[in-house]
Amino acid sequence: MKRMIALRNVIAAVALLSAAKPALSGSADSRNLTVVELFQSQGCSSCPSANANVMALSDRPDLLTLSFGVTYWDQLGWKDTFASPLYTARQWDYARAFHRDQAFTPEVVVNGRADVVGQNRSELEALVQREAASPSAPSVSIANGQVRIGTSDIHATSADVWLIRYDPNIERVPISRGENEGRTLPHKNVVKELVKLGSWSGRAKTYELPQTARSGLRLAVLLQQGPGGVILAAARS
């Protein structure tokens, strides 16, 4: 336990410097969404402050903020109620892309380009501003049960198309064990489903949206340059 926390603190300090990846500009719909992904765990005492900072940005029309619960804190006293191995795997994709051999919480990744721990509001906002989406990416639209991606001359041989369903409401979870014992933690834009729709190679393409039994969720689509890669475009409905 002590070793894991110490290792996490060391990695977090390094991450405060932010790790940028040279890649392509991202963009989104007409609002040019910038994608802000928070990786956290309800069992991590360092996560609530980063979560609060990301939640404070969630109403900005130019941002798509998403909360992913990871699983590797589950054995330390509290099992995260929103965590999924799929989300843990997604964070590990970023860790490898950032040339790291560990994943840590909290972590905020902006447009797949760079990250910070997220506990410092000014550092987070500076990263969002620096990695903001540009208007020069392919169009992405969601309508009538389909996702359509337009043509583009972006120099990318291939990109993955991800469907995300998330809860836009604030969900409050009382924590009865672990590092956050006794606290009730608020969550917003919690990711409930992550599904790969297919690939895209620069030409216009349409994808069918899979059905879901869940209700009350919003949709988002990310066009991402491979595992842990830059997010080229994003849209929500």
Query: Is residue 142 very low, low, confident or very high in pLDDT (cuts 50, 70, 90)?
Result: very high
Residue 130 has pLDDT above 90, yes or no: yes
State pTM to two decimals: 0.87
pLDDT tens column, 23-75: 333 333 345 799 999 999 999 999 999 999 999 999 999 999 999 999 999 99
Question: What is the model's pLDDT at position 3?
Answer: 40
Question: What is the model's pLDDT at position 158?
Answer: 84
Does the domain formed by 2-236 have CATH 3.40.30.10?
yes
Q: Provide the sign of the torsion angle of the four alpha carbons 226, 214, 82, 18, taken in this order.
A: positive
Question: What is the model's pLDDT at position 28?
Answer: 34
Q: Which of 1-15, 30-44, 108-122 has the lowest mean pLDDT?
A: 1-15
Question: What is the model's pLDDT at position 134?
Answer: 72
Q: Are 94 and 108 in contact (CB under 8 A)?
A: no
Residue 159 has pLDDT above 90, yes or no: yes
Question: What is the model's pLDDT at position 180?
Answer: 97
- The residue-averaged pLDDT of 8-15 equals 44
Question: What is the model's pLDDT at position 108?
Answer: 98
Share of the chain above pLDDT 70, in %: 85
pLDDT tens column, 160-196: 999 999 999 999 999 999 999 999 999 999 999 999 9
Question: What is the model's pLDDT at position 2?
Answer: 38
- The residue-averaged pLDDT of 215-221 equals 96
Across the chain, mean pLDDT equals 88
Share of the chain above pLDDT 90, in %: 76
Between the alpha carbon of residue 81 and those of residues 70, 152, 190, the distances in Å are 10, 39, 11
- Phi/psi region, residue 42 (left: phi>0; alpha: psi -120 to 50; beta: rest), is alpha
Question: What is the model's pLDDT at position 138?
Answer: 87
Residue 19 has pLDDT above 80, yes or no: no
Question: What is the model's pLDDT at position 31?
Answer: 56
Question: What is the model's pLDDT at position 155?
Answer: 59
The rounded distance, in Å, linking the Cα atoms of 112 and 94 is 8
- The residue-averaged pLDDT of 203-211 equals 95
Question: What is the model's pLDDT at position 123?
Answer: 98
